[in-house]
Structure 1
Amino acid sequence: MGKKKVMLPAHEVDLATAKYQYEKIEAPHLTGFWLKLFVKLLESPMIGSLIISNLKKENKMIEMLRNTVIPEAPMFKPEFPPQEPLNRGKWEKCRNWLYALPILQVKLVLLEESENEVVLLEEDGKPEERVKLALKTLPDYDPAKSCNADSSSPFRYWKIRDYAYAYRSKLTTPSIVAERFIAAMDEFNNKKPPTPLLISYDPELIRKQAAASTRRFEEGNSLSVLDGIFMAIKDDIDCCPHPSKGGTTFFHEVRPVEEDAASVARLRCCGVILVGKANMHELGLGTTGNNPNHGTARNPHDPERYTGGSSSGPAAIVASGFCSAALGTDGGGSVRIPSSLCGVVGLKSTYGRTSMRGSICDSGTVEVIGPITSSVEDAILVYAAILGSSAAERIAMKPSLPCLPNLTLHGNSDVLRSLRLGKYTEWFNDVFSADISVKCEDILNRLLETYGCKTVEIVIPELHEMRTAHIVSIGSESASGLSPDYEDGKRVKFTHDTRTNLALFQSFSASDYVAAQCLRRRLMYYHTEIFKNVDVIVTPTTGMTAPVIPPAALKSGETDLQVSGLVLDLRKFNEFVLMRFVVTANILGFPAISVPVGYDKQGLPIGLQIIGRPWCEATILRLAAAVEELCFTPKKKPLQFYDMLKGN
């Protein structure tokens, strides 16, 4: 008796009185022999259920999911309030006018009901046409600051437009860059200790794509500004003829690849050179990037540290200079976390904005495919190429038309001035190192001084409930998809940390999953109310910078509960987790972006996260571009960096 709790309906909760809860979450941190023993115990019928039950009880999951009456109805995937978008008829009338006029004559296209100073994109159009229009939204390109820069200039990443200019000006060719890439990758793969970036890689296939791109430039028929741009694809996204292993040793055997994923096919239409399948945390079930199967990708800024996961290879390959961009998947910050830890840009679009067809996790309700790039403008170009949801998603979710910020207009400053940035200070400051909150706070002050962007204090109730709803949702969906293979004798082929996670995930009942979806609806209500007063929510991307790789974890892995949604190593970082700030955008489907804002005292990158309203990618991209411009301190060249454009 006395265990039952009843929540107030969400609309009766006074947001102003909500208190931030500093959590102490209990879980073991194990590697090597002790991890293997722990997994055996977890998978034993009697002892395992006792361990998991105790773990869930200690972290108040049973109390929340089974002993609490949640008055809201379940929300089984993100449902957004009506957006009142520009209607299709009006769009059809203005589309031909927009495409016919030169960009200098296009004053602007207003989507007054949601975002200002934006240019609309046609979701069903050709990706190369969207990229062409996206290119016109960017500030003028200055060749003097491009590949003509001398070696004494401060370090900067080459942008997609730098490569395009070099190709058009005959300073180099895609084939020359391909040979540099292949030579550098061979050198990189022979490094000790090994730091694998690509799981599947075929030099001859790269040469063939590069030769075709070189011919197009020679003939003056390049397909888009992305023609000849080198990109890696995370190993859970289909890219023919490469297998999709999802970071495992066997998954390609039970799930053969028959065609490109929708996003990859769109990149091919634009002339992108696809270099292969990038390393990842096995099946995306982790936030470190640890992978005993193929080797663990290491952080280019410090090879003794993790890249972050699960899109570990994509972030590292961009940060190392090998590729201008990569595609990752983000189900629990898996694009934004590694982007933050590696000092690059990671974009998660609104759930349903991009098609998940052709990815291993294409049926989940928290995951999207997103670009990882070295700059915001490159994220804009790649996003323009890959966006486009399925017809079924458009019918169900009724999205507003996709659009991009017009960064060429003087009115851009006016839009920035009008933006209200929501900040929950206690949450914002709940980080392991004060360097993180100080750097992120500093950029908010600069935004105010330069553009007049006002920071508004907000309160977000039930953050612990949000993390629980997320882990139950992504865990149940992952376990459901993997159970047939898990029960078909493939269990021993998974890594030990994957088996640890699956043991927990399989313990969630149907009622647990439904309760999590009821929490999702409550949380959507709170955030809808918050977004009535602010345009974006700003946080650090992660609660810590890149963690050190325990040597014992390289061979056998480690329990990912320490640095994912439940806990960090209890001996050192009890309350500070990599996923602290990112799961909001996943469980509620909001767009979010991580943009680098500096370094901590150890020289490790720090990222600022910007979370937007549903379908408002243009707003977060505009603000991210402003943040990037204000971070005028020269970027720190990663310890592991290869210059593909100049070859030095």
Structure 2
Amino acid sequence: MAHFAPEPLSIPADEITYQRTPMSNPVLSGLALGVAATAISYAPPLQRILYNNAQFSTLRQVVKHNSVFAQVTPRFDPTVIPASPTGGYNADPTPGVSALSDRNGNLTCADYIEAYTTGRTTPTEVAERLLNLIEGDEKHRLAFILLDKEVYLKAAAESTERYRTGRQIEGGLDGVPFVVKDEVGTADTPLMFGTNKVQDVPKETAFCVQALLNKGACLVGKTNMHEMGLDTTGLNITHGTPFNPHSAAHYTGGSSSGSAYCVGAGLVPFAVAADGGGSIRIPASYCGVWGLKGSHGRVSERPTPSIAPSVGVVGPIAGSVEDLSLVWRVMAERDEHNSVQRLFPSPTTHTAEDRPRKIGIFEPWVRDCVPEVKAVFDKAVAYLTGECGYERVDIAIPYLDKAGLAHALTILTDISEFPLAEGTALSAPNRLLYAVANQVNTADLLAAQRIRAVLMGHFQRLFQQHPGLVVLSPTTPGLVPRRDAGVQKGGWGVSNSDRSVESMRYVFLANLLGLPGVAGVAGWAGDGGEEVPVGVMGVGEWGYEEDVLEVGRGLEGMGEVRRRGMGGLV
């Protein structure tokens, strides 16, 4: 059995019924514009009303009156170290050149390396072109909180010299441009978490980012995000709200909005992002690219403080699954100074282990989406089972409605405890959320962690029964949301709790339980005369990122990637 793993738990059949994830009471969202416009101070009675309307108080009743929960102790950390010596299979650390660039205009990491090694261009020439491109287009500029020109040009010059003298760094990243979400620290660079104040100026770069820099990758800048990561649209009234690269009328998704935009718009082949409630997978799907949320604790972001330590992780967004795999394996290198992360097996370990190909589907759950999304999902299932050799396994997942509330309560508690710099003025919608988070009590928080423990035990049993299982679902139940009226820079912002909860209907489970998941575009749907990407997601066993990446490769084979090529860069 894996380290820190839960005991397999058998849930009585009559306990496994699906109820649609409950929406917050309209009072909470209907009040939002009035609250935002007046920026009132929230009186304790109002805070309590909003907390109860969100139904958080129901969690303790479920736990108290159900004997299933008496079998477990609360689980505050979902980290599970795989017992396998590899935690994966066929993990080739240097994927071959992707053919994607020939098919849809993508520039992969391999395209950059080929251009440099043949002398067609240099990292410095690419840097100069890319910086001019970003500075000349407001849509590109909105994706950044900080465009670090001097740092980028210096790194590009060093890479250019390595290529000139034949000393380039092996690993497929030397001279390749990338961006980092404002949530992840880089040395001597302001860290704002999307707020209006500098929260920290780290003296040291996060381990996972430094691992990329050590391979010669060139950091372009720090990208925009939803303030404190507290929603899934990417709206930011302080730094501006990025446009979806496929439709200016739609959001990018969040909270890793700028990172997803930069990859989706073709500015860079990959980006570093973070995911506490779908913040990698939702924007990747909305922007028509790929995102990987790894197992909890498997990527070290030391010493950057996490704003959601019990549900959040750092991971990559990329334009191709091969690049996603390449970057993931570098980011997940062992950090000997991280007492938990160093227990994970190396992501580049080779093994001949033969993992079965199985996709698990909980049919009532995956049906709970709009028809356009369900049509794309059904097409993806047919492709994986028909063309890729996957066996469909019908599964059941208990307590999904309460698990969604448990995740919401947990991430709100995490973020509300993060120490903000003096003078930080959060947007009115986030002050509303902080007011609600301050009402969390011990009984409800303990109940949420018991629900987490029960679900982890249930999934442990599923993975033992079905080795190689990847649970498939849509990424989100609806189409990419259209931009609201209050998204302009300096505006009042928007609080729509119903939409926020609904957008996390599928993604939250991987965060609450610490499971790895990949998401990306599997089709397109019309919305207001424009087509937007529709995402499909696979969630696998703790430590088996290779299982979900393999599902990603299968989905990529459907040929639905449409990214704006930036061939002029190389």
Matched, 1:476 2:413: yes
Alignment partner of 2:360 out of 399, 422, 428: 422
Counterparts of 1:205-244 in structure 2, within 5 Å, are: 205-224=151-170, 225-244=172-191
Alignment partner of 1:607 out of 532, 535, 551: 535
Identify the residue that residue 84 of structure 1 maps to in structure 2: 83
Shift of 1:11: 4.3
Amino acid at match of 1:237: V
CA distance in 1, matches of 2:568, 2:429: 36
Moved more, 318-327 or 195-204: 195-204
Identify the residue that residue 130 of structure 2 maps to in structure 1: 181
Kept in 2, the 8 Å contact 1:540–1:581? The answer is: yes
Amino acid at match of 2:382: N
- Decide whether aligned partners of structure 1 residues 645 and 16 sit closer, same or farther in structure 2, where only a CA change above 3 A counts: farther
- Decide whether aligned partners of structure 1 residues 359 and 13 sit closer, same or farther in structure 2, where only a CA change above 3 A counts: same
Alignment partner of 2:505 out of 575, 580, 600: 580
CA distance in 1, matches of 2:377, 2:247: 22
CA distance in 2, matches of 1:275, 1:362: 23
CA distance in 2, matches of 1:211, 1:79: 40
Matched, 1:553 2:492: no
Kept in 1, the 8 Å contact 2:130–2:569? The answer is: no
- Decide whether aligned partners of structure 1 residues 260 and 644 sit closer, same or farther in structure 2, where only a CA change above 3 A counts: farther
- Decide whether aligned partners of structure 1 residues 217 and 201 sit closer, same or farther in structure 2, where only a CA change above 3 A counts: same
Q: Deviations over 1:33-62 (max 9, x none)?
A: 523257525x2233x234324413xx3x21
- Consecutive unaligned residues of structure 1, counting only runs of 5 or more, are 1-8, 87-110, 120-132, 566-576
Matched, 1:519 2:455: no
Amino acid at match of 2:465: N
CA distance in 2, matches of 1:356, 1:300: 28
Kept in 2, the 8 Å contact 1:31–1:556? The answer is: no
Identify the residue that residue 397 of structure 2 maps to in structure 1: 460
Shift of 1:626: 2.2
Shift of 1:19: 1.4
Identify the residue that residue 3 of structure 2 maps to in structure 1: none
The residue matched to 1:552 in structure 2 has which SS?
coil
CA distance in 1, matches of 2:32, 2:10: 49
Kept in 1, the 8 Å contact 2:486–2:492? The answer is: yes
The residue matched to 1:497 in structure 2 has which SS?
helix
Matched, 1:443 2:380: yes
Shift of 1:474: 1.2
Counterparts of 1:479-490 in structure 2, within 5 Å, are: 479-482=416-419, 485=421, 490=424
Alignment partner of 1:592 out of 517, 521, 524: 517
The residue matched to 2:160 in structure 1 has which SS?
helix
Identify the residue that residue 625 of structure 1 maps to in structure 2: 553
Matched, 1:543 2:480: no
- Decide whether aligned partners of structure 1 residues 275 and 395 sit closer, same or farther in structure 2, where only a CA change above 3 A counts: closer
- The alignment covers a number of residue pairs equal to 549
Alignment partner of 1:170 out of 115, 119, 125: 119
The residue matched to 1:134 in structure 2 has which SS?
coil
CA distance in 2, matches of 1:544, 1:33: 23
- Decide whether aligned partners of structure 1 residues 66 and 353 sit closer, same or farther in structure 2, where only a CA change above 3 A counts: same
Matched, 1:55 2:53: yes
Q: Deviations over 1:39-89 (max 9, x none)?
A: 525x2233x234324413xx3x21223574142211110153x74323xxx
Shift of 1:511: 2.3
Identify the residue that residue 195 of structure 2 maps to in structure 1: 248
Amino acid at match of 2:49: I
CA distance in 2, matches of 1:370, 1:68: 33
Identify the residue that residue 127 of structure 1 maps to in structure 2: none
The residue matched to 1:240 in structure 2 has which SS?
coil
The residue matched to 1:426 in structure 2 has which SS?
helix
The residue matched to 1:251 in structure 2 has which SS?
coil
Shift of 1:545: 2.1
Counterparts of 1:252-271 in structure 2, within 5 Å, are: 252=199, 255-271=200-216
Kept in 2, the 8 Å contact 1:146–1:162? The answer is: no
Identity fraction in percent: 28
TM-score, normalised to structure 2, is 0.90
Amino acid at match of 2:447: A
Kept in 2, the 8 Å contact 1:352–1:389? The answer is: no
The residue matched to 1:214 in structure 2 has which SS?
helix
Kept in 2, the 8 Å contact 1:373–1:379? The answer is: yes
Counterparts of 1:94-133 in structure 2, within 5 Å, are: 115-116=88-89, 118-119=90-91
Kept in 2, the 8 Å contact 1:115–1:619? The answer is: yes
CA distance in 1, matches of 2:512, 2:332: 20
Moved more, 383-392 or 277-286: 383-392
- Decide whether aligned partners of structure 1 residues 403 and 560 sit closer, same or farther in structure 2, where only a CA change above 3 A counts: farther
Matched, 1:347 2:285: no
Amino acid at match of 2:44: P
CA distance in 2, matches of 1:301, 1:212: 34
- Decide whether aligned partners of structure 1 residues 12 and 537 sit closer, same or farther in structure 2, where only a CA change above 3 A counts: closer
Kept in 2, the 8 Å contact 1:289–1:310? The answer is: yes
Shift of 1:351: 0.7
Matched, 1:434 2:379: no
Shift of 1:249: 1.1
- Decide whether aligned partners of structure 1 residues 479 and 15 sit closer, same or farther in structure 2, where only a CA change above 3 A counts: same
Alignment partner of 2:20 out of 19, 22, 26: 22
Identify the residue that residue 102 of structure 1 maps to in structure 2: none
Shift of 1:618: 1.2
- Decide whether aligned partners of structure 1 residues 163 and 16 sit closer, same or farther in structure 2, where only a CA change above 3 A counts: farther
Alignment partner of 1:134 out of 90, 93, 96: 93
CA distance in 1, matches of 2:450, 2:391: 33
Identify the residue that residue 100 of structure 1 maps to in structure 2: none
The residue matched to 2:248 in structure 1 has which SS?
strand
Kept in 2, the 8 Å contact 1:223–1:271? The answer is: yes
CA distance in 1, matches of 2:513, 2:258: 26
- Decide whether aligned partners of structure 1 residues 74 and 22 sit closer, same or farther in structure 2, where only a CA change above 3 A counts: same
Amino acid at match of 2:327: V
Identify the residue that residue 4 of structure 2 maps to in structure 1: none
Kept in 2, the 8 Å contact 1:306–1:546? The answer is: yes
Identify the residue that residue 544 of structure 2 maps to in structure 1: 616
CA distance in 2, matches of 1:146, 1:596: 14
Identify the residue that residue 277 of structure 2 maps to in structure 1: 332
Shift of 1:169: 0.7
Alignment partner of 2:330 out of 385, 390, 396: 385
Shift of 1:393: 5.7
Kept in 2, the 8 Å contact 1:345–1:374? The answer is: yes
- Decide whether aligned partners of structure 1 residues 467 and 17 sit closer, same or farther in structure 2, where only a CA change above 3 A counts: closer
Shift of 1:294: 0.5
CA distance in 2, matches of 1:12, 1:453: 25
Matched, 1:64 2:59: yes
Matched, 1:197 2:137: no
- Decide whether aligned partners of structure 1 residues 242 and 256 sit closer, same or farther in structure 2, where only a CA change above 3 A counts: closer
Q: Greater CA radius of gyration, 1 or 2? A: 1
CA distance in 2, matches of 1:171, 1:11: 58
Identify the residue that residue 282 of structure 1 maps to in structure 2: 227
- Decide whether aligned partners of structure 1 residues 115 and 320 sit closer, same or farther in structure 2, where only a CA change above 3 A counts: closer
Identify the residue that residue 159 of structure 1 maps to in structure 2: 108
CA distance in 1, matches of 2:562, 2:341: 45
Identify the residue that residue 89 of structure 1 maps to in structure 2: none
Amino acid at match of 1:529: R
Amino acid at match of 1:19: T
The residue matched to 2:137 in structure 1 has which SS?
helix
CA distance in 2, matches of 1:270, 1:31: 49
CA distance in 2, matches of 1:525, 1:371: 28
Shift of 1:12: 5.8
Larger relative contact order (CA 8 Å, sep ≥ 6): 2
